[in-house]
Amino acid sequence: MNEITTKIDETNQSGSGAFIPYLMAGDPSPEKSLDYVRALAAGGADLIELGVPFSDPVADGPTIQAAGNRALETTNNLDEVFKVVRKARREIDIPIILMSYYNPILQFGELEFLKKCRETGTDGVILPDLPPVEGNGFFESARESDIGVPLLATPDTDASRLKEISEKTTGFLYLVTRPGTTGAKSDLDESTGSAIRSVKDGVPEGLPVCAGFGLSTPKQVNRVIRAGADGAIVGSAIVVRVGNGEEPEKIERFVGELKKGTKI
């Protein structure tokens, strides 16, 4: 069991869902993004997801695309992202997970990337554009390195496909609560709860399921946790505040309110 799963389990055992906020590394600068990482931790984050800036972010909506464009001005390669992680891990001890597209890792080198994860205290990586059937070598190397690789599923993922994804994922299964790209949503469909319960029934015992895409309020966070999700992921609702120039103290308070929604 890697650090990601361990942390989620510990949080669940305390009577709370895990709260996983997202930031774009380097937005608006490496130094300022580190201040925001500190704010997430101080606000009650159980794990932190850091985006890797990329020029062609096909799974991201306009808010995170804009954050990536800002970050590319100063943080345009994985070495710069790892510098942010290394500095963050000197001060916080919760798991940090990168959200990246596969191309930067391919260019960096898979094994070198995993080595750098270990050196910097990076606990996992999410790769939305690496199909499970094509990533076997990377998944196995990551497992041997104890680096979690959460894979994505949707409410429409059929049982056989869900089984395949679950067998290859480590850390947690990332349930995309709605189709399309990232971005805050005013409300959740009535089917969200049933989708969470269905996916939970289809994954191996001991594999956490965390829900994301579209969550932006404490009420929505609470809804997915009460439906059975082991954790909730919030990205665009935080990133837009960073883009608007909100100070870390305000982000910390906002994260604190979202964390309250994870109470069961």
DSSP secondary structure letters along 52-105 = PP-S--TT--HHHHHHHHHHTTT--SHHHHHHHHHHHHTT--S-EEEE--HHHH
Q: What is the pLDDT of residue 181?
A: 47
Taking the C-alpha atoms of residue 77 and residue 94, their distance in angstroms, rounded to an integer, is 24
Domain ranges of the chain: 3-10+17-254
* pLDDT tens column, 85-126: 999 999 999 999 999 999 999 999 999 999 999 999 999 999
CATH says 3-10+17-254 is which class? alpha beta
- Residues with active-site annotation: 49, 60
CA 194 to CA 196: how far, in whole Å?
Answer: 5
Contact of 181 with 133, CB cutoff 8 Å: no
Rounded CA-CA distance 45/39 in Å is: 9
Q: How far apart are CA 95 and CA 208, in angstroms?
A: 15
Using CA atoms, how far residue 196 sits from 48, 80, 109, 175, 189, in Å, is 22, 36, 35, 8, 12
| pLDDT given at position 183 | 47
Q: Which two tokens stand for residue 87?
A: 């500095």
pLDDT in tens, the chain (264 residues): 689 999 999 999 999 999 999 999 999 999 999 999 999 999 999 999 999 999 888 778 899 999 999 999 999 999 999 999 999 999 999 999 999 999 999 999 999 999 999 999 999 999 999 999 999 999 999 999 999 999 999 989 999 999 999 999 999 999 998 654 454 444 566 678 888 999 999 999 999 999 999 899 999 999 999 999 999 999 999 999 999 999 999 999 999 999 999 998
Q: What is the pLDDT of residue 153?
A: 95
Give the model's pLDDT for residue 193.
Answer: 86
Q: Tally the residues of the chain.
A: 264
Token pair for residue 7? 């942390």
Tell me the whole-structure pTM to 2 decimals: 0.94
The answer for residues whose C-beta is within 8 angstroms of residue 134's C-beta and 6 or more apart is: none
